[in-house]
């Protein structure tokens, strides 16, 4: 049995046995990184593939200046970040919004879900509810609401508004509370 440095050296020389052994050793780490970074289970496989590519890149480019796990972690974070940015671009919206195989098998039992008239009515209901919510919000809460709706995280919003994370989180909680009260009022 080889130690990790021997495996890394052999893997760098494209030794398949060494690569497989290292992959076995770090597979759970790659898996946990994919779970941490994927937002929905629909794109988990894509993230897992990115983590595996990051693993191979780490083997190819590792120079021994630091521990391999540290270098691997940095490579995986870089891969996940880049994949997240690329997959959220407009040109990928068709794929991101595509119907999954699981949804296709449920079409016959849930026909209303794909009824354009029903979808339009639901969108109108959403817009009406959104207007009602915005009328109840303070100017700061409305700003947080708009940024959150655009997909910004609480941390990102705090940086944009130059406010503490706790303050933005409090605004967000107020928004949820006010929206919850309006949800059941016609």
**Among 99, 76, 73, 95, CA closest to 86:** 95
Number of domains in the chain: 2
Do 9 and 89 fall into the same domain?
yes
Q: At what angle do helices 165-183 and 139-149 cross, to 10 degrees?
A: 90
Residue 100 domain-assigned (yes or no): no
Query: Chain-centre distance of CA 184, in angstroms?
Result: 31
Whether 89 and 115 map to the same domain: the answer is: no
First to last CA, the chain: 70
Range of the domain at 63: 4-93
Q: Which two tokens stand for residue 105?
A: 């098998």
In angstroms, rounded to a whole number, what is the distance separating the alpha carbons of residues 118 and 120?
Answer: 5
% of the chain exceeding 90 in pLDDT: 0
Cβ neighbors of 84 (< 8 A, separation 6 or more) are 37
For the residues 136-150, what does the mean pLDDT come to? 85
Confidence at residue 108, expressed as pLDDT on a 0 to 100 scale: 47
Cβ–Cβ under 8 Å, residues 72 and 26? yes
- Classify residue 102: in a domain, yes or no: no
Per-residue confidence at 186, pLDDT binned at 50, 70, 90?
very low
117, 86: one domain: no
Q: Which two tokens stand for residue 8?
A: 């890394």
Structural domain ending residue among the three candidates 33, 63, 93? 93
Same domain, 64 and 37: yes
Share of the chain above pLDDT 70, in %: 74
State the average pLDDT over residues 125-133: 76
The answer to whether residue 139 sits within a structural domain is yes
Q: Tell me, rounded to whole angstroms, the distance of Cα 22 from its chain centroid.
A: 27
CA distance 124 to 129: 9
Distances (CA, A) of 24 to 35, 137, 153: 18, 52, 34
Global model pTM greater than 0.75: no
SS3 1: coil
Clarify whether residues 87 and 13 are in a common domain: yes
State the average pLDDT over residues 75-96.
71
For the segment 107-117, the average pLDDT, to the nearest whole number, is 57
In a domain, 121, yes or no: yes
Mean pLDDT of the chain: 78
In a domain, 124, yes or no: yes
- With cut-offs at 50, 70 and 90, classify the pLDDT of residue 147: confident
Examine the domain organization and report whether 62 and 120 are in the same domain.
Answer: no
Entry field: residues in the chain? 186
C-beta separation of 155 from 169 below 8 A = no
Q: Does 41 map to a domain?
A: yes
What is the maximum alpha-carbon separation in the chain? Answer: 70
């Amino acid at each position: 049995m080889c130690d990790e440095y021997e495996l890394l050296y052999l893997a760098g020389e494209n030794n398949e046995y060494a690569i497989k052994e290292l992959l076995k050793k770090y597979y759970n780490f790659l898996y946990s990184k994919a779970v941490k970074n994927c937002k929905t289970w629909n794109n988990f496989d894509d993230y897992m593939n990115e983590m595996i590519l990051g693993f191979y890149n780490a083997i190819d480019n590792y120079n021994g200046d630091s521990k391999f796990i540290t270098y691997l972690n940095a490579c995986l974070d870089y891969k996940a970040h880049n994949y997240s940015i690329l997959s959220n671009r407009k040109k990928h919206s068709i794929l991101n919004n595509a119907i999954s195989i699981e949804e296709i098998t449920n079409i016959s039992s849930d026909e209303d879900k794909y009824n354009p008239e029903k979808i339009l009515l639901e969108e109108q209901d959403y817009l009406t509810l959104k207007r009602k919510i915005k009328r109840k919000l303070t100017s700061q809460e409305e700003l947080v609401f708009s940024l959150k709706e655009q997909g910004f995280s609480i941390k990102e919003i705090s940086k944009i508004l130059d406010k503490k994370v706790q303050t933005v989180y409090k605004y967000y909680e107020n928004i949820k509370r006010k929206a919850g009260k309006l949800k059941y009022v016609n």
